[in-house]
Structure 1
Amino acid sequence: MPDDRHSSSAPLPESLRRQLEEFRRQLWRSKIAEAIFAGIFGLLFSYLLVFGLDRLWPTPAIVRLIILLGGTSLAAVFAPIWLHRWVWGHRHDNQLARLIARKHPGLGDRLLGVVELQKQLENEDSLSPRLRAAAMEAVAAEAEKRKLNDSLPASRHRRWSLAVIALFLIAGTALVIVPKAGLNSLKRWLFPLSSTARYTFTLLEDVPFQLPVPQGEAFSIDLRLSEDSEWQPEIGEAQYGRQDPVWAKLDDGHYRFEFPGQQDPGEVRIQIGDARHEITVIPSLRPSISSTVAEINYPDYLELENRIIDVPTGVVTVVEGSQVQLTIEASRALASAEFGPLSAATSLLTPAPSARQDSGETPAFDPEAASMDISDSRASTGFLKVTSGSTNVPMSWRDDLGLTGNEGFTIRIDALKDEAPTTYLQGVQTQKVMLPEETIDLEVIAEDDYGLKEYGLVWEGQFTRPTDEVPAKGELRLEEGQPSMNRAAMPAAFSPLTYEISPQKLTLRAYAEDYLPGRGRVYSQPIIIHVLSRDEHAQMLKNQFDRAISELEDMARRERNLLEENQRIERLDGEELQSEEGRQRLAEQEEAERQQVERMENLAEKMEELLKNSSRNGTIDKETLKKMAETAQAMRELGEQDMPKVEDKLDEAQDQKNTEEKSEQDVEKAVEQQQQNLEKMQETIEKANDANQRFEASTFVNRLKKAAGEEEAIAMTALAGSRNFGLHSRELDPADLRLLNEAVRQQSDTASDVHWIQEDLGHFFTRSNKQEFREILDEMITSEIDLGLEDIRLSLIKNHSYIAADQAKNWSAKLLEWAKKLEGSEDSPAGGGGGGGGGGGEDEDFDFMLRVMRLIQQEQDLRARTRALETLRRSFEAETP
């Protein structure tokens, strides 16, 4: 069955339609205004909130972001929702009718009914258009009697507008009054995640985020107020962690906060006016110096390479003229380092020549401060030239944390002069007597602080009597040094025969030379060597023999006194010997005998040495040597065998374990042995005197020959100066005058020697009663040689050289004649080594022993001269480039 229903739309009455349209416009206008003003309010409020918070503390970025999102949400979120509700949700008439019904329920229901009737679906049978129109007219008439605007919801757009205006005025005022703060807050509000710093009316400059401070030391934070700061508070506050806050007054634009020493890191909160800052404090140990080194560039003349030395004591010692570079190494990387100001005892450091600029000018050295070259944890000065005296170089440094090192670190540079080398001779006495073929073994030691250039030996001779020979003079370079040689020791052998040096007085010295220009050689203390002729050597041995005999006689006297005391002790009985007093007397006698034994052993060694030297001389006859050997042997037996027996018996007599009889026997045996020793000593003295008498006799020949040689030398000296014959001393050349004076002095000494020869001949004849010595003595007395030698001296004083030379030659020949007479005498001990003694095997044995001894001595001399030649060879090699 078909549906016969149909819809029929009847328009609302015109008055009602106009009322609803007006109601809709009022509703939309109010709610849209509210949304707009709410959005603007949110933006202004969020901005002002950031502005206000920034005045109190540095608003964090996340807080500013939340505020910005909250402020914009009113415009971006709330406004669309609000508009959707009030505009989109109230666009239809039925929606408006429901809104009106909230205020006027009856009217609203009827309006809603009229709106529904407008679109009602009915059958034709039941549809009554007239009735519907009447109903709608009735409602429109009722609505016309009322104002629908009364049904509008409460409108807050005026409040929102007033709030917006108020906030706008506040924001505008802030931007006008404090434009920098306003614009800064606007930027921080619009860009919350940016790094825009908060503007404060109190503006501080260069506030650090981190501050390293010395660990455990009080520190301060000094904050400087900017000149552009609009607010200058009188007092600022700072707090380290939870410690009590500290305050600082504004002083000359600075706030200085003092804190006690800290061990652990912490935060310092600074509050000055509206400025808020947090500084992370990191306590750290100060940078310390772990090592100090100095590089020394020595002066060019030393030829030494640069040297790097540690300076643990803070003192560098260098030679004047050196250049020094100081380097320190710290415990952390360094940011800067300086040295200075300098203080010096006598002078300051000066720039090294290498620091000169291309223009050739030397830059002035600033004694107040100078920067150091930095390389990580090392800092170095430039090369500084050291002139003289001592210089203190204080240093300061700062590490990459900004901490400075401990104050008072100073390096002292001591400039020393290049001292002269030293040298000395070792292993030899300062006075030495020797024959030309003998050799001296010695050691040359040379030292220098900055290198030896060379060292060696030098000698210079001097004749003690006038002669036409030239005194010896020479040198021997032992080794060529090098800059790094500070000490050298070289064994050397010196033999006069090797260098063809005749008998004379030699001054031997070591020399050394360093590298300092113009200094020259430095010499050691001299060694005086008397190179003797065989005659002089024999006379010296004779004098030594005399002293040895005197010592032996003195020992015999002491031994006799000891014997007499022992004989007194022998008279004591056993009980007295065992008493304390008796043992004390025995002990004293034992000690005295022990000293006698030591003296005898020493004298025996001297006698053996004298025998060796006598056999070396070659002019002493065999019989004299034999008696000297017997004397030495007897002395050795006494010292090693006989005399110790007395000492032992005296020691045994003191033993408390002895019986009285045993002590008496020991003393008796000691006396008996001592008597035998004394007799042997007397026999030894007689042998020694006999040998000495023969020795003395042989020396007369040598002494006469020596005097003859001296007269011959005086004659030659006088002839050499004959060109000045008769000239007064004032007219002579100084050199000729010196030679003439030496000749006069030598003539006086020779005359004195001849006088003593006469005296000694007289005494010797008295002791020996040898006729040949008497004859020579009578001839000397008859010749009046004393007067003749004095005449020569007077002739020399007057510069009568020809007369003096002729007289000197005559007396020289006469002295040689007397010497030959004694030497050729049949019984003379100087007559060629014959002389006395029984024949047979004993003489043959001694003769063989003597030859062996002389062969050994010759071999030793040969080896010694070989060492001298080896020393000479090394010298030649040292001189060869």
Structure 2
Amino acid sequence: MSAPDHPHQIEIPESLRRQLADFRRHLWQVKIQEALAAGLIGLLVSFLLVYGLDRIWQTPGWARLLILLGGMSLFAGFAPYWLHRWVWKQRRETQLARLIAKRYPGLGDRLLGVIELQDQQGSADSLSPRLREAAMEAVAAETGRRKLEDALPPQKHRRWALAAMLLAAVSATAFTLTPRAGLNALQRWLLPLSNTERYTFTKLENPPSHRAVAFGEAFVVVLKLAADSEQRPSEASGRYGLQPAVTTTLDGNSYHFTFPGQQDPGVIVFRIGDLRHEMRIEPVQRPSTKAVRAVVTPPAYLGIAERSVDLNSGVLSVVEGGKLRIELEMNRPLESGSFGPTRSLALEEGGEETTHTPAAGDLTVSGGLASTPVLDVGAVPFEIPFTWKDRFGLEGDTGFRLRVEALKDAAPTCYLQGIDRQKVMLPEETIDFEVLAEDDFGVKAAGIEWSGQFTRPTDESPAKGELLLGEGAPEERRLLKAAAFSPAAFGISPQKITLRGFTEDHFPERARVYSEPVVLYVLTRDEHAQMLKNLFDRQITELEDLARRELGLLEENERLEKLDGSELQQDENRKRLEEQTREEAESERRMEELKQRMEQLMKDAARNGDIDKKTLQKMAESLKSMQELAEQDIPKVAEKLAESQEQSNTPEKSEQDVEQAVEQQKKVVEKMQEAIDKANDANRRFEAGTFVNRLKKAANEQNGIVASLKEAFERLLGLKTPALDPSDTRRLNENARQQMETAADVRWIQEDLGHYYARTKTESFKQIMDEMRGSGIDIGLENIRTRLADNHSYEAAEAAKKWADQLAAWAAKLEGDKDSGGGGGGSGGAPDAEDEDFEFMLRVMKMIQQEQDLRARTRVLEQLRRDQENQTEEPTGP
């Protein structure tokens, strides 16, 4: 029976095993070196690529990330793959045999067979151990004769290592030559998504990436080199969008680029050496004002509240001593703003040099609102310049200025309206007018003031007084008050009155301002009658002129009347008719004016009261004729003359119209002559009455001298003229002047009496004239003046009293004769109905005038009462 089979395993020869181990070790060394070299190459290439690209442009983060991933892929992807292929998959002997078979196919197959024999299992009969060992030895011997290194795959480790060393050397050189650029590139390579700025050899100091510029205006961009910039290029360029590039050179340490005005947003690309910088440009309108206001506070004494004023014109007027604050409303929020320094404008306008303290400071900015602090307004105009900057850094218009006019609080003005500059009146009359007071900042009060002056010596005191008409409120710049003035209501006797309006404003310690004076001559009834007589003389003269004019017109119309109808319609004669029509219209106008003056004269004569009724009646009859002439007769003549010129007239119609005009005009001339006769009759009676008034006036003047001297006897008697007080000397001189004027008036009375007697042959007037001439009054009055010059005041007073009594006696005698009929007053029988009607009308007229005077004086007294109430309340005011 045979022995059992046992498996028998034979190891490959040790020599062969060592050869395969050396082959494997050598293979692993080469491939591991190749894997490391490839990984280093990938990393170094990606780093150098980032370094190189950064020298050209701003490598974006995504590109750096791709480059880093590409470089890392060789190290993290290719190297493991390479190691897996050549190390992990070449660790067994069979794997090595197959690799050797690629170079030495026969040897490789035999090695593979030997290695498989080593692992075969079987019995000794089927697998002879010695045969297997012999085979292994034979393969090991053959292998020993071969150089297995030649069976290694192509070896790139040296080249790759050299490439890696070269790349490392390049990197080291870059770090050595440009350490900051290398470190920057390393940071940007390792951290591709970080915000690490690209390092450039040309470095700018805080270059802006965005800028707002003025819309449509050229702008300058200044880029400054940083202190640590390694390069300082001599030239630089900048391109706005697709526009031509702008080049500039290095100026000091900066580059100044000037770009044309832009209207659309864009990007400027600057290239300075290796630096590429982008700046986004946004054209915007400069910051400007939407509204400008001033908050003005007037001086406290004006009592005017603070107010806001719109400054659309750029000019503000503020009263001197006021305060103001300027408020600016902008079209967008501001960053900052300032004002000043203020500049005086007095010298520029030719004014006097006045001290002005410049003011300047920052504006208080709150979003789109800016305001100045409170500024004081002095005595001179000044200008406030403003500057501001918005959040974009844009400045506003540098020429924005506000002008402040420093207004002086001017004195008020006062006017009297509705009254003549001179007026003659009786004491009981009332004049109505208006007082207009105006002030630039408010009227405080307005009223009237009067002062009197006697025109002849008297012991009375001249009138003096005032009346407050009203008080104004703050900012009431115009105060119009109605006023009424009646001498009788204020107890003013006949004298010369100077009437003025006055006004006051709120300016401290400023005196009253007065209007132009109005001179009122308050007359006695005798003086008033004499004035009316003079006016009546002028009206009669005017009426006589009109009568002569109308007679001349009648003569020309009579010449035209002699022409037949066809001749009247000729152009030449038509022009004569037109001229006659115009002249007649002029006569109508003048007669209307004369009628109105006569009506006023009649009213004044009726008011006088001392003019006799017969004179007034004659005046009224003359006035009635004038009224009829102005309203009826003369217009009819003009109407007929106008009708004669109508184009549609037949020759017969024109001839008839001229005849009717002539007939009517003859009546006009006759009525004018009648009016003249009536006026002359009234004037003679008027003149006779004025002799009485003139004698009374002379007597009153003498009595005034006596009263004036008596009042000063205690100071005058016993002294020579040089020793007198100046006021008494002035009194004597005034009396002497008045005495000289009275003596002249008396001489004129005597001469006028002679002329009157020559015209009227009235014996009473001749008798008075003879008595005056025989009394030696002229010499007596002159002696009084001489005594006054020598201060013989007592003797002068006695003589003046004597002649005053004599003048009054002559006046009384003449007045008695006139009342008894000596002045042409009728036969003494019973009055007729016409006289009674006129007397009734005269009484009614006087009653109406008295009623009007009473109402007017009531208004005056009401004004006086209000003025006294205001004066009573004033001390209790603040």
- Where on the TM-score scale, by shorter chain, does this alignment land: which range? over 0.9
User: Is the contact between residue 325 and residue 380 of structure 1 (CA under 8 Å) also seen in structure 2?
Assistant: yes
What's the CA shift string for 1:74-99, capped at 9, x where partnerless? Answer: 22222222222222222222222222
In the alignment, the residues of structure 1 paired with residue 417 and residue 18 of structure 2 have an alpha-carbon distance, to the nearest angstrom, of 145
User: Is the contact between residue 397 and residue 405 of structure 1 (CA under 8 Å) also seen in structure 2?
Assistant: yes
What's the CA shift string for 1:739-759, capped at 9, x where partnerless? Answer: 222121112112222222222
Query: Equivalent residue for 2:766?
Result: 774
In the alignment, the residues of structure 2 paired with residue 490 and residue 13 of structure 1 have an alpha-carbon distance, to the nearest angstrom, of 149
- Is residue 737 from structure 1 mapped to residue 726 from structure 2 by the alignment? no
AA at the equivalent of 2:741: D
- Is residue 507 from structure 1 mapped to residue 498 from structure 2 by the alignment? yes
Query: Equivalent residue for 1:104?
Result: 104
User: Is the contact between residue 212 and residue 281 of structure 2 (CA under 8 Å) also seen in structure 1?
Assistant: yes
Query: Equivalent residue for 2:856?
Result: 864
Q: Gaps (5+ residues) in structure 2?
A: 350-355
- Is residue 649 from structure 1 mapped to residue 640 from structure 2 by the alignment? yes
Report the alpha carbon displacement of residue 637 of structure 1 after superposing the two structures with TM: 0.9
What's the CA shift string for 1:741-793, capped at 9, x where partnerless? Answer: 21211121122222222222333333333333333333322322222221221
- Is residue 551 from structure 1 mapped to residue 551 from structure 2 by the alignment? no
AA at the equivalent of 1:234: S
| Cα distance change of structure 1 residues 100 and 407 upon mapping to structure 2, 3 Å threshold | same
- Is residue 817 from structure 1 mapped to residue 819 from structure 2 by the alignment? no
| Cα distance change of structure 1 residues 541 and 348 upon mapping to structure 2, 3 Å threshold | closer
- Is residue 746 from structure 1 mapped to residue 738 from structure 2 by the alignment? yes
Query: Equivalent residue for 1:32?
Result: 32
Query: Equivalent residue for 1:118?
Result: 118
Between 147-156 and 52-61, report the one with greater CA deviation: 147-156
Query: Equivalent residue for 1:191?
Result: 191
User: Is the contact between residue 623 and residue 836 of structure 1 (CA under 8 Å) also seen in structure 2?
Assistant: no
User: Is the contact between residue 339 and residue 372 of structure 1 (CA under 8 Å) also seen in structure 2?
Assistant: yes
In the alignment, the residues of structure 2 paired with residue 876 and residue 802 of structure 1 have an alpha-carbon distance, to the nearest angstrom, of 44
In the alignment, the residues of structure 1 paired with residue 689 and residue 119 of structure 2 have an alpha-carbon distance, to the nearest angstrom, of 185
2:602 to 599, 602, 611: 611
Between 330-339 and 652-661, report the one with greater CA deviation: 652-661
Report the alpha carbon displacement of residue 22 of structure 1 after superposing the two structures with TM: 2.4
Equivalent positions of 1:682-693 (< 5 A) are 682-693=673-684
AA at the equivalent of 1:745: R
1:637 to 608, 628, 651: 628
| Cα distance change of structure 1 residues 266 and 654 upon mapping to structure 2, 3 Å threshold | closer
User: Is the contact between residue 296 and residue 306 of structure 1 (CA under 8 Å) also seen in structure 2?
Assistant: yes
User: Is the contact between residue 415 and residue 435 of structure 2 (CA under 8 Å) also seen in structure 1?
Assistant: yes
Structure 1 counterpart SS, 2:389: strand
TM-score (normalizing by structure 1): 0.92
- Is residue 158 from structure 1 mapped to residue 158 from structure 2 by the alignment? yes
What's the CA shift string for 1:860-880, capped at 9, x where partnerless? Answer: 222222332343344345543
In the alignment, the residues of structure 2 paired with residue 230 and residue 83 of structure 1 have an alpha-carbon distance, to the nearest angstrom, of 45
User: Is the contact between residue 7 and residue 119 of structure 1 (CA under 8 Å) also seen in structure 2?
Assistant: no
Report the alpha carbon displacement of residue 276 of structure 1 after superposing the two structures with TM: 0.7
User: Is the contact between residue 486 and residue 857 of structure 2 (CA under 8 Å) also seen in structure 1?
Assistant: yes
1:382 to 367, 373, 393: 373
| Cα distance change of structure 1 residues 188 and 673 upon mapping to structure 2, 3 Å threshold | same
In the alignment, the residues of structure 2 paired with residue 22 and residue 652 of structure 1 have an alpha-carbon distance, to the nearest angstrom, of 160
Structure 1 counterpart SS, 2:476: coil
1:764 to 746, 756, 762: 756
Equivalent positions of 1:448-847 (< 5 A) are 448-655=439-646, 657-722=648-713, 723-825=715-817, 827-828=819-820, 839-847=831-839
- Is residue 425 from structure 1 mapped to residue 421 from structure 2 by the alignment? no
- Is residue 440 from structure 1 mapped to residue 453 from structure 2 by the alignment? no
| Cα distance change of structure 1 residues 107 and 263 upon mapping to structure 2, 3 Å threshold | same
Between 379-388 and 535-544, report the one with greater CA deviation: 379-388
Report the alpha carbon displacement of residue 430 of structure 1 after superposing the two structures with TM: 0.8
Query: Equivalent residue for 1:359?
Result: none
Query: Equivalent residue for 1:55?
Result: 55
Structure 1 counterpart SS, 2:229: coil
Structure 2 counterpart SS, 1:20: helix
| Cα distance change of structure 1 residues 246 and 675 upon mapping to structure 2, 3 Å threshold | closer
Structure 1 counterpart SS, 2:194: coil
Report the alpha carbon displacement of residue 348 of structure 1 after superposing the two structures with TM: 11
In the alignment, the residues of structure 1 paired with residue 829 and residue 25 of structure 2 have an alpha-carbon distance, to the nearest angstrom, of 178
User: Is the contact between residue 24 and residue 90 of structure 1 (CA under 8 Å) also seen in structure 2?
Assistant: yes
AA at the equivalent of 1:789: L
User: Is the contact between residue 508 and residue 529 of structure 1 (CA under 8 Å) also seen in structure 2?
Assistant: yes
Equivalent positions of 1:183-582 (< 5 A) are 183-340=183-340, 342-346=342-346, 370-582=361-573
AA at the equivalent of 1:635: M
In the alignment, the residues of structure 2 paired with residue 835 and residue 411 of structure 1 have an alpha-carbon distance, to the nearest angstrom, of 91
Structure 2 counterpart SS, 1:27: helix
User: Is the contact between residue 762 and residue 822 of structure 2 (CA under 8 Å) also seen in structure 1?
Assistant: no
In the alignment, the residues of structure 1 paired with residue 862 and residue 53 of structure 2 have an alpha-carbon distance, to the nearest angstrom, of 104
| Cα distance change of structure 1 residues 874 and 101 upon mapping to structure 2, 3 Å threshold | farther
Q: Gaps (5+ residues) in structure 1?
A: 350-363
| Cα distance change of structure 1 residues 837 and 163 upon mapping to structure 2, 3 Å threshold | farther
User: Is the contact between residue 342 and residue 358 of structure 2 (CA under 8 Å) also seen in structure 1?
Assistant: no
In the alignment, the residues of structure 2 paired with residue 659 and residue 348 of structure 1 have an alpha-carbon distance, to the nearest angstrom, of 79
In the alignment, the residues of structure 2 paired with residue 339 and residue 324 of structure 1 have an alpha-carbon distance, to the nearest angstrom, of 14
AA at the equivalent of 1:18: R
Query: Equivalent residue for 1:854?
Result: 846
AA at the equivalent of 2:616: L
In the alignment, the residues of structure 2 paired with residue 572 and residue 822 of structure 1 have an alpha-carbon distance, to the nearest angstrom, of 59
- Is residue 84 from structure 1 mapped to residue 75 from structure 2 by the alignment? no
What's the CA shift string for 1:36-85, capped at 9, x where partnerless? Answer: 23323322222222111111111111111122222222222222222222
User: Is the contact between residue 343 and residue 358 of structure 2 (CA under 8 Å) also seen in structure 1?
Assistant: no
User: Is the contact between residue 7 and residue 122 of structure 1 (CA under 8 Å) also seen in structure 2?
Assistant: yes
Structure 2 counterpart SS, 1:737: helix
User: Is the contact between residue 347 and residue 390 of structure 1 (CA under 8 Å) also seen in structure 2?
Assistant: no
| Cα distance change of structure 1 residues 10 and 405 upon mapping to structure 2, 3 Å threshold | same
In the alignment, the residues of structure 2 paired with residue 793 and residue 508 of structure 1 have an alpha-carbon distance, to the nearest angstrom, of 33
Between 252-261 and 868-877, report the one with greater CA deviation: 868-877
AA at the equivalent of 1:791: N
AA at the equivalent of 1:81: Y
User: Is the contact between residue 344 and residue 382 of structure 2 (CA under 8 Å) also seen in structure 1?
Assistant: yes
Between 196-205 and 574-583, report the one with greater CA deviation: 574-583
What's the CA shift string for 1:525-556, capped at 9, x where partnerless? Answer: 11111112222211111111111112112222
In the alignment, the residues of structure 2 paired with residue 179 and residue 299 of structure 1 have an alpha-carbon distance, to the nearest angstrom, of 74
User: Is the contact between residue 536 and residue 601 of structure 2 (CA under 8 Å) also seen in structure 1?
Assistant: yes
In the alignment, the residues of structure 2 paired with residue 143 and residue 128 of structure 1 have an alpha-carbon distance, to the nearest angstrom, of 23
What's the CA shift string for 1:450-481, capped at 9, x where partnerless? Answer: 22222221111111111122111112222222
Structure 1 counterpart SS, 2:819: coil
Structure 2 counterpart SS, 1:118: helix
In the alignment, the residues of structure 2 paired with residue 206 and residue 835 of structure 1 have an alpha-carbon distance, to the nearest angstrom, of 129
Identity %: 57
In the alignment, the residues of structure 2 paired with residue 873 and residue 58 of structure 1 have an alpha-carbon distance, to the nearest angstrom, of 99
User: Is the contact between residue 424 and residue 446 of structure 1 (CA under 8 Å) also seen in structure 2?
Assistant: yes
In the alignment, the residues of structure 2 paired with residue 867 and residue 425 of structure 1 have an alpha-carbon distance, to the nearest angstrom, of 18
Query: Equivalent residue for 1:137?
Result: 137
| Cα distance change of structure 1 residues 107 and 457 upon mapping to structure 2, 3 Å threshold | same
AA at the equivalent of 2:571: E
Report the alpha carbon displacement of residue 373 of structure 1 after superposing the two structures with TM: 2.9
What's the CA shift string for 1:7-52, capped at 9, x where partnerless? Answer: 5543332222222222222222222222223323322222222111
In the alignment, the residues of structure 2 paired with residue 836 and residue 81 of structure 1 have an alpha-carbon distance, to the nearest angstrom, of 170
Structure 2 counterpart SS, 1:436: coil
Structure 2 counterpart SS, 1:482: coil
In the alignment, the residues of structure 1 paired with residue 631 and residue 164 of structure 2 have an alpha-carbon distance, to the nearest angstrom, of 138
Report the alpha carbon displacement of residue 198 of structure 1 after superposing the two structures with TM: 1.3
AA at the equivalent of 2:416: L
User: Is the contact between residue 621 and residue 835 of structure 1 (CA under 8 Å) also seen in structure 2?
Assistant: no
| Cα distance change of structure 1 residues 69 and 439 upon mapping to structure 2, 3 Å threshold | same
RMSD, matched Cα: 2.7
